[in-house]
Amino acid sequence: MLAASDSLAHVYAVIPVFNRREHTLACLRSLCGQDYSALTVVVVDSGSTDGTAEAIASQYPEVILLSRDSSLWWTAATNEGVKWVLEQCEQSDFVLTLNNDTTVKPDYVRRLVEVA
């Protein structure tokens, strides 16, 4: 990920996860390769037991990793991530939610902001 620029709207990508480490790592690879620099990735891990959290922490230290228990499902984990973002962000920032099995092209976030 590139350093954020003050002139760009900031985007927070929230990704709920439970296991599926390889899917999650592929998703993060695609997000960290974005040509849009004002991007923060927030992963909400709902008690993964397959090493997902450890892999994220070691391979993507710039990703915000929120660890929660396994009682969360997709919606509750997404809500946890969005709540965290709302405590950090400015009113002009954007929140993007993604499934952990999503991969995107390098211009994905930039194009979303352009059309927003």
Per the CB < 8 A criterion, the answer to whether 34 and 108 are in contact is yes
Predicted confidence (pLDDT) per residue in 62-116, tens digit? 999 998 877 778 888 999 999 999 999 999 999 999 999 999 999 999 999 999 9
**CA quadruple 38, 31, 64, 94: dihedral, nearest 10:** 50
Q: What is the mean pLDDT of residues 45-61?
A: 94
CA distances from 29 to 6, 7, 94, 109 (A): 24, 25, 20, 14
